[in-house]
Each structure stands twice: as structure tokens, then as C-alpha cells.
Structure 1
Amino acid sequence: MAEDVPDVFDHLGLTEYEATALTNLLTLGRTTAPNLAEATGIPKARIYGVLESLSDRGYIKMIPGRPKEYQPKAPEEILDRAVQNRRQDYEQFRQDLEDVREQFLAEFGPRFERASEDITPTEELFHVVDVGGPSERETTELYHDARERVRVITKSFEYFDAVRPAFEDALDRGVDVDVLLLDPDHLSAENRPVQERMVDRLTEQYPSVDLRFSAAKLPWRGTVVDPSMDYETGRAIFLVEEKDVPLHMRQAAITDNGSFVAGLWRYFQLTWEYESDPVR
């Protein structure tokens, strides 16, 4: 198999036995549980549970008979069903939260208000999270919350796949998205092909997204959502370029301070209009 295929099974949420069984079913086609156990090395005591799990998720079909047989769905159907399963999981999660929302707010709302009474304005300006998974989750939330526009400043958008579903959700809802990338001349030899692939991908798959290259080096990068010059709305996540600090040791700042967001937005506007070039 190609090296990146196991990553697909990780996204499907499969155990090692389930991934092995599905891989072999896609190769062998319709077969019985004993035959599949023999082909895969999965213990016979486990194979029926594995197949039942794959069937419950809609990835394979059970064919009645003596003996019962199992047949994989088409690869495209498997991926579509995985998306549907995730949607169902999300809806259940959302409903579970809604069921306890009133009780949670009644219990902890007053506590939060009392604890926040002594917070000074400067402390409310922003909070920080580690770069990586935490910052990607915050960025994903920004895309989901966006109503009008998203502005992205990035070197090569190498983290795109981590936020792609939320990115596409924003586009589907009609949110205007612009991406300002660092000019390839300022990139390292390692990052240059990463950016080139990403630009090709964005141009081909998301034609509504405007892309430009910043002529000068960027002092910060991040995502700004729904800014306004009345200083009352908007949210952003950003990190300052720290040349000598490894990426895994950096932190990103999150702010919903309208004035601060407006300043980030104005920087983006000026750079976009006067110090950037169209993607070549």
C-alpha cells in the first residue's frame, strides 16, 4: 500500500484489526469470516466482532447464507459513509451539550462572573495557546464562527489540512476568504515546494479564494475573522515571527478585542493593497 493509506484508516477511526480486515476485503472482495481470518492472521475469536463493527459503520455488507459472507462497499461509498458517521457523531454531541446547557450555565455562569470582576482590561486583551494542535483547534473555531470574512497571513499554509473542513464550511456558507502568503523568495528551500503545492491546490480546488504574495517579510502570521473599523467585532489568532525559537516552543495569541482585531485587519489591508503581488 502507499505510505499515506494508513492515515486514511486513522481518519476512519479504525482499530488495527479493522483496518487490516477492510484492506483485505477491498483486495479479496466477497468472502467468509474464516477465510478472512486465515488471510489476515486476525484471531478467529475476534474476526466476527471486527466484521460486525465494520458493518455497523456502513463500510461493508453482510450477505446472509450458510456460511455468511462479507463484502466491502466501494471505496467512494466508504469515505462518504465516514463523513456521514462523523456528522451523526457531531449532532449527537451537540444534542448532549444542549441537554445540559441550562444546568451548566446556571451553575457556572455566576461563578465565572464573580471570578471575573477583578480582571483588568489589559488581562482581557488576549490569551495564549501552544502552536500545533491547540492553535489549530482555535483556528478551526474561528472558521466555524466566521460570518462575513476571513483573512489569513501565512508563510506557506502548511497547516491547511488540519483546518480544511472548517475552511470549506466557511466557504460553503458564503464567507469571503483571502490568503496572503510570503513571497517564495523569502522562503527556505524546504518550505518553497510546500507553498507551491498549496498554492496549486488552493487555486484549483477553491477558485473563490483570493491569493497574493507579500513582497516584504511578514512580522506576524495568523487568521483574522469578521473585523470592523468600529472596534466592536472580530476575533483573531496570531503569532509573532521568532526566528530563533523552534516552532514547537512558540505560542499563539487569541483575541476578541475589537480594537486589536481592527489593527491586525488594517495591517492586512495595507499589505494586501500596496505591498503584495498576485500569485504568479
Structure 2
Amino acid sequence: MTGDDAPAAVLERLELTEYEATALAELLALGRTTAPDLSEAAGIPKARIYGVLDALADRGYVKIIPGRPKHYQPKPPERILERAVENERQAFERYRQDVEAMREEFLETFEPMYEQASEDVTPTEELFWVVDVGEPSEEETRSLYRNAEDSVSVITKSFEYFERVEPALADALERGVDVDVLFLHPSHLDESNRAVQRDIVAYVRETYPEVDLRFSREQLPWRGTFADPSMDYETGRAILLVEERDVPLSMRQAAVTENGSFVAGLERFFELVWEYEATDPDAVLD
């Protein structure tokens, strides 16, 4: 990306066409101008420039000033971003209303088909499904926090991904969800991970004192997060990653499960380590 086309490329992320992004970028640089002058400056054919400017005006990014000739003036960048969000909100609301309008017809059409196809089929529950480590696994973790009702338990080396799940964790705490975090003892970490862990632990203790923290003195065979386990095996959801030292993180996958029995087993493992093999932060950090 060159310096000349970088602003237009940023604007394309607002779901603008190439011509629209180029025109708006040039207009922001020029200020108030006419369509022919903008056409020449931006390299957009004159046959297209009026349609492009009308589209930008319809989105609320450009003000049309009547006259002979008409002038076009860009809205301030902050206002453009506000309009972009509002446009998406309105589009989603229209989509939601369209879906609601078709709900009765949709269900009347497809529910009998689904029920007929499901007859005489023995239901089976998928024990696991997998997601790539990184943004997909972090989104599953955020979803777990967002849907938790009673408790969330975390097993982690250093909680290095904390910043990316923090808003969801904070929301869970606001709803009264109990959060326990079991770290791997820093003696099992290299210096880089120890530093990350030290900073995260200090931040969590100061910002979220209601979160309980402990450190496992022994190595842990897996890392992950699980929520709302029950000993009647009826509820629970988890995402976990087994220890694979020789496999790069970018090539690994995390397992997700909603099997209540399995999540209850994870909870039992967590409780045993927490009670008998873990120590509190003061004993580690002092």
C-alpha cells in the first residue's frame, strides 16, 4: 500500500466501493469543492462522480451545498464514523424486522419438514467440536463468559490473552458470576511468561479483587475455561487446550464441549488441584 492510496484503503473498511473511498479521501483532503474538480483530482470518470457523491451523501458522509454549480463538503471524520455505526444499526434493525415479519411463515413451512425428518432418528450428542487457537478460540471463551450464570473456572499458564476476554469477564462479574483462576506456578515458566503472568496477576488483583487466584505447584495437562458445571451432569460448557510443547500455537486447535458429564469431570479435577496442589498468590508473589 502506497502513501497515496492508504487513506482510501482505510475508508474501504467502511464498506465503501473503491470509487466512493477514493472520492471521500480526496474530498477530506480538499474540503469543499465541485464534482468536476473532484473528478479530476481523484481520477474518477465524470460520468461516475455524481453517482458516487450522491451515494456518499445518502450515507451521511458528505453535505451537498446547492448552487450553480453544486458544491460538496465532507463531514468531520468523527461524524463520518458515527454515521457509519448508525447506518449499520439501522440496516440491522431493518433486517431484524424483516426476519420477524417472516417468522410465522418460516416456522409453518419448515418446522413440519424438520420434525418429519427427525422422526425415528436416535438423537446423538456431539462430545466435542474444535476451533482454531487464536481469535476463534478467544471468541468461544468470550461467549462462555457472556452466557455463564453461576461460575467460571480458568486454568492457564499466564493468562496472556486476558486483555482480549476482559470485557466479557467484567460483565460476568457484574452479573454476580464467581470467577476462579488457577495459574501454573511461575517456577514452571520461562522468564518471558513469568513477566507476563506477574503483570496480569497484579492487574487482576487490583482491578477485580473478587476474582479468586491460586497457583498450581504441579504441571497441568490442559488449559482452558469452563462454566456452570453441575454434579447432576445437566449443565456446563468448556473450552480446553491440551499441552503440546512441540506444536506451534498457530497450528493448534481447542476443543469445545457442552457435555455436562465431561464438564463435571473438569470441575472435579479443578477442585482437587485447587484444594490440594495449589497455593495462594501471596505465597508465590512475596
Distance 2:87 2:173 in 1: 20
8 A Cα contact 2:146 2:172, kept in partner = no
Aligned residues: 266
* Correspondence 1:1-280 to 2 at 5 A: 9=11, 11-98=13-100, 99-100=102-103, 101-103=106-108, 106-107=111-112, 109-110=114-115, 113-114=118-119, 117=122, 119=124, 124-132=126-134, 134-135=136-137, 138-139=140-141, 141-142=143-144, 145-147=147-149, 155-157=159-161, 160=164, 167=168, 170=171, 174=175, 176=177, 180=181, 186=189, 219-265=221-267, 274-275=278-279, 277=281
- The TM-score normalised by the length of structure 1 is 0.66
For residue 12 of structure 1, give the secondary structure of its aligned residue in structure 2. Answer: coil
8 A Cα contact 2:145 2:172, kept in partner = no
Distance 1:254 1:65 in 2: 62
The letter for the 2-side match of 1:241 is: E
The letter for the 1-side match of 2:33 is: T
8 A Cα contact 1:61 1:70, kept in partner = yes
Quote the offset at 1:212 in angstroms: 5.9
The letter for the 2-side match of 1:167 is: A
8 A Cα contact 1:147 1:226, kept in partner = yes
RMSD (CA atoms):
4.6
The letter for the 2-side match of 1:36 is: L
Distance 1:178 1:169 in 2: 10
Distance 1:34 1:172 in 2: 57
Quote the offset at 1:214 in angstroms: 5.5
Q: After the TM superposition, which parts of structure 1 deviate over 6 Å for at least 4 consecutive aligned residues? A: 3-7, 181-185, 206-209, 269-273
Residues 135 and 61 of structure 1: CA distance in aligned 2, closer, same or farther (over 3 Å)? farther
Q: What 5-or-longer segments of structure 1 have no aligned partner?
A: none
Distance 1:213 1:63 in 2: 64
- The TM-score normalised by the length of structure 2 is 0.65
Distance 1:192 1:49 in 2: 58
Q: Which has the larger Rg?
A: 2
Quote the offset at 1:106 in angstroms: 0.4
Distance 2:160 2:8 in 1: 25
Query: How big is each residue's C-alpha offset from its partner over 1:16-65, in whole Å with a ceiling of 9 and x where there is no partner?
Result: 33333333333332222222222222333333333333333333322333
Quote the offset at 1:243 in angstroms: 2.4
Distance 1:152 1:7 in 2: 40
Distance 2:44 2:57 in 1: 17
The letter for the 2-side match of 1:233 is: T
The letter for the 2-side match of 1:126 is: F
User: Which deviates more, 128-137 or 54-63?
Assistant: 128-137
Distance 1:4 1:277 in 2: 48
Identical positions, percent: 51
